[in-house]
Amino acid sequence: MTIKIDGDPRITQLQGPRKANRIQEVPKPEKSQPSDSVQLSADVQQASETERAARVQELKAQVENGTYQPDMNKVAASLLTHIAKGE
């Protein structure tokens, strides 16, 4: 007596060929290179602070003298941006 273990060919035709259930590995992205950075020396930071203080004093004097005339388009745009953000 012989037993056929391949199964019924009619059922195999209905099911179609089977693909192996294999998980494909997704390639891992390469680690990004460290980004460039800039460190300012204490002298440069001090110079920036000095320039900023001078600009603030200049603007303060203009406001006190009534000669400060900001760009109203920039002021309006800034206000609208501020309102849109809900701040």
Please check the confidence at residue 9 and state whether its pLDDT lies above 90. Answer: no
Domain ranges of the chain: 45-87
8 Å CB contact between 68 and 62: yes
pTM check: above 0.75: no
pLDDT at 53: 93
Helices (H) and strands (E) in the chain, counts: 3, 0
Is the model more confident about 61 or about 3? Answer: 61
Cα gap 45→54, rounded to integer Å:
14
For 40, list phi and psi in degrees, rounded to 5: -85, 140
Q: What is the pLDDT of residues 46-80, one digit of tens each?
A: 888 899 999 999 999 999 999 999 999 999 999 99
Q: What does 3-38 look like in DSSP terms, one character per residue?
A: ---S--HHHHHHH-PPPP--PPPPPPPPPPPPPP--
pLDDT in tens, 11-47: 655 555 666 666 777 777 777 777 888 787 888 788 8
Does residue 6 surpass a pLDDT of 80?
A: no
